[in-house]
Structure 1
């Protein structure tokens, strides 16, 4: 089975070479037997046979590869230049009408390869043309004094190479930039659609929970009046009040998200103190070490900012619990009008294939779908920040949060 697609770069190159081999064979046979051209047919057929073997070896080598590396594509194009040069040298050299085909590998390289590889391909084609020019038979040069004509063809070829490299490379670069921007727009749109779906589901759940909680509160009051001496009433009342407070918080956050305006600010010092308090309450077994090098800086306030950061620290706490560790280190610093927050745990780390996806899409794992990190990153992006996750050298992971400071905030 062949893994690469005909629409891939290596697939199209191998298909084009297959067509070229067939055309070369037909041209050699037609030129020799029908047009009585002076072609060394046996050496030409040997070159075509060698090219065919190289083609079969290339198909075999890339049969399990979806796409070839840039170096592999460069070697394939250089091989095409070598085979074409060998055929041209056996059929008139620089005087051959098909010598301009040496431009084709350059155009392919300019579209699919980095700049330095394109320059290598162009230089190889120019060297090939120069070899064909300086090895022209004397009868070609002396016939009607064609030396100046062939020299002009060489100059024209070099000029064409530079024109192709500059124009095609610029156009290919612009297309790549445009495709990258379109991909980013599609990714952002998809993420916004996911956030809207999650928000709608959360709003629906909040609406559906409001009535049962209100009903439970009424039933609680009736049962409490009939049995006032039970000791569990205070605990039940506290739990119901927490549910009501959480529902009110959901409604406040939903109203805030509808407005899409961020106007308030909050000191970084207050954020760190709030996070420290919440972690002590929710994960008392974990030791939170905060290194804060500033006290006056402020960032834009979002009701979801502290929950978003809390989700990240909670993931670090769970990773520590699984690894039998109890220390979470937080480094907070301000530089170049940005707040940098590094959250370091001592867990087992994250699989490399999941690192790039966490925070950007849902990732299936033994601990869930990565929903908390996805929502956290969405909140940070709404505040013009971002989040990255990477494994530490020895153990654990580091989550880096970057947020811009509010206008008027000073670096300290």
Structure 2
């Protein structure tokens, strides 16, 4: 049994694109028929059944207006709905042909346009159904129609040839317009599906990393506690030795930092809510924490004094730390960390003077796992950062700096951080 999703046209093109282009075609046909009737009746003096033909055009106009209203509704189009639109247009066109000479009308082949559209947009059974209806209408119009009153046979033949030529131009233009637009839409849809598959694959890898991280956090808790206790005892024992004592205190600080990371990881696993805090306080704490984790690195920070309440999205702090670590690994010089806030959101710029990336690497950054510096990251860390920012509604971009190096810009809109 087909599912509701299988009945929609969203697997091919969005409803707005399909119905919008069909509406354009419908309005063009209404205008073309109206112009043709006026030209034949008043320009060439050929008596046309104005009342019934005007009634059909008016009904098509009402249907076009209802389609405009339909396009404003945020509801996906179904196969049956689009088929109904095509059948209505085909039927109205057949009725107009009935009053305009039937199968002898040179524009009778325009009935193929809805069939072509159905073949592109609908399932095969519905396309064949529309083809059968069009064939039946054509067969009926061969015998049942109102002939045009043209007194001069030579004039009628010349008009028929001219109409066939013009009909060919119109048919070619309509089919080319509709098919090329739909083909472009299909390519866009395939690109979006490819990006979705890529994101799903990346998320699966990150989920596997998260599972392994949780297991590692559980196993590391006891060794870290032992390391912290031992480092504290050694620091007290060698308090009078400036070299050994300083190293022991550094080890103790690093162990404390690792324990804090494991504590936050456990809190996230238990869905503990984050505490809102002033933005400038959060930025200061972020820089201080990174300095504890990377005492060998230098940072030049320019942070705003913004006291608005800030609730960082889950994982944002670790994402920024990943970028800071990568920048420190890229070059021995100081890491530049600039933050700015405005009415739209928070912008963080992290820059280094490392070797930078190729254009291909910048395009792939965060989407695939790769490393521009073997042994120093820019692989998993950047992929995790990109995934975190994507979930938070933010963005991450890499640009090349003048004079060498890379600038990473992180943007978080306020609606995802408040």
Q: Deviations over 1:357-379 (max 9, x none)?
A: 22222113333452222222222
Secondary structure of the 2:331 match is helix
Residues 230 and 212 (structure 1), Cα distance of their counterparts in 2 relative to 1, 3 Å cut: farther
Shift of 1:343: 1.7
Q: 281-290 or 347-356, which moves further after superposition?
A: 281-290
Show the counterpart of 1:169: 180
2:393 to 384, 388, 391: 384
Show the counterpart of 2:124: none
Secondary structure of the 1:356 match is helix
Secondary structure of the 1:318 match is helix
Q: Distance in 1 between matches of 2:228 and 2:346?
A: 44
Secondary structure of the 2:202 match is helix
Within a 5 Å distance, the mapping from 1:11-26 to structure 2 comes to none
Q: Distance in 1 between matches of 2:374 and 2:325?
A: 12
Give yes or no for contact 1:299–1:404 (8 Å, CA) kept in 2: no
TM-score normalised over the length of structure 2: 0.51
* 1:300 equivalenced with 2:311 (yes/no): yes
2:402 to 393, 402, 406: 393
Show the counterpart of 2:352: 345
Residues 248 and 174 (structure 1), Cα distance of their counterparts in 2 relative to 1, 3 Å cut: same
1:249 to 255, 261, 266: 261
Consecutive unaligned residues of structure 1, counting only runs of 5 or more, are 1-99, 112-141
Q: Distance in 2 between matches of 1:237 and 1:329?
A: 27
Consecutive unaligned residues of structure 2, counting only runs of 5 or more, are 1-109, 122-152
Shift of 1:149: 3.1
Show the counterpart of 1:286: 298
Show the counterpart of 1:332: 339
Secondary structure of the 2:364 match is coil
Show the counterpart of 1:10: none
Give yes or no for contact 2:351–2:406 (8 Å, CA) kept in 1: yes
Shift of 1:239: 4.2
Shift of 1:251: 4.7
Q: Distance in 1 between matches of 2:340 and 2:238?
A: 54
Within a 5 Å distance, the mapping from 1:177-196 to structure 2 comes to 177-196=188-207
Secondary structure of the 1:205 match is helix
Shift of 1:407: 7.5
Q: Distance in 1 between matches of 2:239 and 2:399?
A: 55
Residues 248 and 267 (structure 1), Cα distance of their counterparts in 2 relative to 1, 3 Å cut: closer
* 1:274 equivalenced with 2:281 (yes/no): no
Q: Deviations over 1:261-288 (max 9, x none)?
A: 8664343312331233245442556340
Residues 255 and 375 (structure 1), Cα distance of their counterparts in 2 relative to 1, 3 Å cut: same
Within a 5 Å distance, the mapping from 1:90-101 to structure 2 comes to none
Show the counterpart of 2:326: 315
Q: Distance in 1 between matches of 2:187 and 2:389?
A: 28
Q: How many residues align?
A: 263
2:364 to 320, 343, 357: 357
Within a 5 Å distance, the mapping from 1:137-216 to structure 2 comes to 146-213=157-224
Within a 5 Å distance, the mapping from 1:52-131 to structure 2 comes to none
Q: Deviations over 1:331-379 (max 9, x none)?
A: 3223442211122222222122211122222113333452222222222
Residues 230 and 253 (structure 1), Cα distance of their counterparts in 2 relative to 1, 3 Å cut: same
Q: Distance in 2 between matches of 1:184 and 1:362?
A: 15
What is the aligned-residue RMSD (CA, Å)?
4.2
Residues 340 and 252 (structure 1), Cα distance of their counterparts in 2 relative to 1, 3 Å cut: closer
Residues 266 and 383 (structure 1), Cα distance of their counterparts in 2 relative to 1, 3 Å cut: farther
Q: Distance in 2 between matches of 1:145 and 1:338?
A: 71
Q: Deviations over 1:137-184 (max 9, x none)?
A: xxxxx9998543332222112211232134223422442343233223
Secondary structure of the 2:410 match is strand
Shift of 1:253: 2.0
Give yes or no for contact 1:390–1:398 (8 Å, CA) kept in 2: yes
Q: Distance in 1 between matches of 2:239 and 2:277?
A: 45
Shift of 1:318: 2.6
Residues 163 and 299 (structure 1), Cα distance of their counterparts in 2 relative to 1, 3 Å cut: farther
Residues 157 and 357 (structure 1), Cα distance of their counterparts in 2 relative to 1, 3 Å cut: same
Give yes or no for contact 1:311–1:373 (8 Å, CA) kept in 2: yes
Shift of 1:291: 5.2
Residues 381 and 270 (structure 1), Cα distance of their counterparts in 2 relative to 1, 3 Å cut: farther
